[in-house]
Structure 1
Amino acid sequence: MTADRRPEEIEIDRLDQQLATAETGDMNALTKAVATYETQLATAHEKGESDRYRGISRAYQEQLITVLDDATQTEGWELVEDFLDAYHPDTADKFPHVTTILQNVTSRYLIRTRLSAGIDSVPVSALTFFSSILDQFEGDGYDFIREALHPYGWGIGHPDHSVADDIHQYASSSLPLVNAILEHAFYADQHSAVELLEELVNDESVQQTLPYRSGKISGPRYLLDAPAGAVSDFDPTVPRYWEWQEELDHEFVLDEDVETQIREIVAEQGVGDELSSDWEIADLTL
């Protein structure tokens, strides 16, 4: 006699089937797969089943991102926009469990569009999705959602949505997050990014001291890690599961005039005292 299977096991089998069908281009199956993933994570969270929650996320996150990203490249931004409407941060008291999935796919679309067609072609709804997440952060937590916000910097310079204003607004309260977003802004538009960097380091709210390793570090010094990260030998790891520099054949090269501005900021902030006489921008990496 076959033992009765738990409803959760049946739902996971259904998710496998839905994803397999979605991989053939069935958008209805993709919609169901996202809904099943959200429901299963929500149920595990409500029951306090943290191991099950992590297990589902680890088993299906990358596959779901890949299937949705592939579908987006075929169907266009409207497909993602439908999912953003259905699982928008503004629709619930807490972030939907598929938020990092949607952040990842939105980030890929943002980066591809910016590099291929320019910032004016980036849909405003992609940027307002990120800003709405920023607006809902309170205190600590949501580490993966915070990390997935880093590519928001690729929206800098958009004519109808000011990413720079958002970055500036959160600099005083979320400097580590702002630093990471600013690094991505350098990849996108280094001239706009260095102007923003200069504004930030001269803002009184950024003139703060943060704990760092076994000591402390100033806010301006912390933010100088952003351009250093862009020129370093370390490839960006966000969006996860995607080597965008390789796929898009993109190499970041710091312009001489931007390097000059960074060196001037270093001198003005007194950071050069801790560097060697022949320091390079990459030496500012924390």
Structure 2
Amino acid sequence: MSHECDDCGEEFETLSRLRLHDCSTDTSFESSSLTHTDERKQEDVEEHSNEERIGKLDDLLATVRDGDSTALHQAMATYETRLASAHESGNSDNYRNISRAYREELITVLDDATQTEGFVFLAEFLDAYHPETADDLPHVTTVLQNVSSRYLIRTRLSDGIEAVPVPILEFFSSILNQLEEDGYDFVREALHPYGWAVGHPDHSVADDIHQHASSSLPLVNAMLEHAFYADQHSAVELLEKLVNDESVQQTLPYRSGKISGTRYLLDAPAGAVSDFEPTIPRYWEWQEELDYEFKLDDDVEQRIRQLVAEHGIDDDLSNDWEIADLTL
């Protein structure tokens, strides 16, 4: 199936080529010779172009809702283009407005199409907007993370970890490797469900998470909590490795003081047993849809209690403390 650019009309065999092509229909003026009047004209042209493209996105999404999932390719490309344009122009308000207006719907329709068409449909988007295709993460990254997370969780619970496609895990791993220490907050939180793939036979998620513990402990803690939902025995094994790793023997600011890295990581199993329901992936109540309930096994609880005792953390707990009391 070919994909046509809405701006220049050129057709491409793959979604990747559509996304990466250099569109020749640039309606902007040359900045080197702009007068004040020209600047006003440029703003008018850009505003008209923005409105036209947003209108096309609305039309494309309406087509998708009518049952034509093929329109999603162009809808995603249009969304990416609009966000990229807002980002490049430094218009953060416009960027947020576009994202808030369309992100949830794009997630919903792509998720629906993936459930209908199968992973092969999602795979084309992961390939087209893979983090390694450009210097910066594509602007549609959080949309693809969300839908990939849903596919990962559903597949693991219904068919087992072996059935989870490796390209999803490679997609998450590539994002994890590209994240800087600051920024990308929504991308960072959307990595939490990567922990659901712990124990995959062809992609070591545990090693991947462990590798980032020294530099991104808060993110590792969140991924570890999701690993407990997926496979608590693999998760507690990873927890034991982490707390015995010298690179994790660090202190982190917490409230008015500091806590150890070990204490911080113990929040992961505590979060899993608490009454708090995870909000990631966003816009999806997965525990309700999948009728999922987490229960900590007795042997896993004893291993956690042993870690607490070995590191003297029980000194700050009551005599009858529960795992949920480790929640930060």
Normalized against structure 2, the TM-score is what? 0.85
The aligned residue for residue 302 of structure 2 is 260
CA–CA distance in 2 between the matches of 1:192 and 1:256? 15
| Residue identity opposite 1:6 in structure 2 | H
- Is 2:142 the counterpart of 1:130? no
The aligned residue for residue 154 of structure 1 is 196
Normalized against structure 1, the TM-score is what? 0.98
Q: How many residues align?
A: 284
The aligned residue for residue 205 of structure 1 is 247
Name the SS for the 1:79 alignment partner: helix
Q: CA deviation at 1:27?
A: 2.5
Name the SS for the 2:57 alignment partner: helix
Q: Which stretches of structure 1, 4 residues or more, deviate above 6 A after TM superposition?
A: none
CA–CA distance in 2 between the matches of 1:109 and 1:214? 40
CA–CA distance in 2 between the matches of 1:155 and 1:25? 31
CA–CA distance in 2 between the matches of 1:171 and 1:7? 45
The aligned residue for residue 88 of structure 2 is 46
- Is 2:81 the counterpart of 1:33? no
Name the SS for the 2:253 alignment partner: strand
Can you list the C-alpha shifts for 1:226-258, whole angstroms capped at 9, x where unaligned? 000000101000000000000000000101111
- Based on CA coordinates, which of the two structures has the bigger radius of gyration? 2
Can you list the C-alpha shifts for 1:18-50, whole angstroms capped at 9, x where unaligned? 011112231321111100100000000000110
Counterparts of 1:208-219 in structure 2, within 5 Å, are 208-219=250-261
Q: Please, which runs of 5 or more residues in structure 2 have no aligned partner?
A: 1-43
Name the SS for the 2:148 alignment partner: helix
Check conservation: 1:38, 1:98, Cα contact below 8 A.
yes
The aligned residue for residue 224 of structure 1 is 266
Check conservation: 1:25, 1:71, Cα contact below 8 A.
no
Q: CA deviation at 1:138?
A: 2.2
Name the SS for the 1:146 alignment partner: helix
- Is 2:134 the counterpart of 1:92? yes
CA–CA distance in 2 between the matches of 1:139 and 1:267? 32
The aligned residue for residue 80 of structure 1 is 122
Check conservation: 1:41, 1:53, Cα contact below 8 A.
yes
| Residue identity opposite 1:70 in structure 2 | D
CA–CA distance in 2 between the matches of 1:240 and 1:139? 22
RMSD over equivalenced CA pairs, Å: 1.1
CA–CA distance in 2 between the matches of 1:25 and 1:150? 31
The aligned residue for residue 239 of structure 1 is 281
| Residue identity opposite 2:179 in structure 1 | F
Q: CA deviation at 1:15?
A: 0.5
CA–CA distance in 2 between the matches of 1:139 and 1:158? 27
CA–CA distance in 2 between the matches of 1:55 and 1:76? 31
The aligned residue for residue 63 of structure 1 is 105
The aligned residue for residue 146 of structure 2 is 104
Q: Please, which runs of 5 or more residues in structure 1 have no aligned partner?
A: none
CA–CA distance in 2 between the matches of 1:20 and 1:266? 54
CA–CA distance in 2 between the matches of 1:186 and 1:224? 11
CA–CA distance in 2 between the matches of 1:55 and 1:122? 34
Can you list the C-alpha shifts for 1:248-285, whole angstroms capped at 9, x where unaligned? 00000101111111100100111101111111100000
The aligned residue for residue 15 of structure 1 is 57
